[in-house]
Structure 1
Amino acid sequence: MDDRTGGRSELRADCARCFGLCCVALPFSRSADFAVDKPAGRPCVNLLDDHRCGIHDRLRERGFAGCTVYDCFGAGQKVAQITFGGRDRRTGTARDARLMSEVFPVVRQLHELLWYLTEALDLPAARPLGPALRAALESTERLTLGTPAELAALDVAAHRAQVNELLLRTSELARAGVRGRKRDRRGADLMGARLKGADLRGASLRGAYLIAADLTGADLRHTDLIGADLRDADLTDADLTGAFFLTQPQLNAARGSTGTRLPGTVRRPDRWTA
Structure 2
Amino acid sequence: MSHQAQFQLQQIAGVISSVVPAELRPSSIRPNIYTLVRIPCFVNNAVSPSHASTQVIQVISGPTEASLVTSPSPAEVVVDGADLQGKIDLRVRNVVSMFNVCCHVDLHALAMCTPNVVYELSRGVVMWQLRNPNCHARISACGKVIVTGATSEMAARKASRRVARWIQQKVNPSVCFADYRITNMMASCKLPFGLRLVDLALAHPKECSYEPEINTGLIWRNSSPKLTLRIHSTGSVTITGATSEANVLSAMDSLYPVLLRYKVAYRSGGTIESPLATSVVSLRF
Q: Tell me which interval the TM-score lies in, with the shorter structure as reference length.
A: under 0.3
- Pick the structure with more strand per residue: 2
**TM-score normalised according to structure 2 size:** 0.25
- Pick the structure with more helix per residue: 1
Q: Which structure: larger Rg?
A: 2
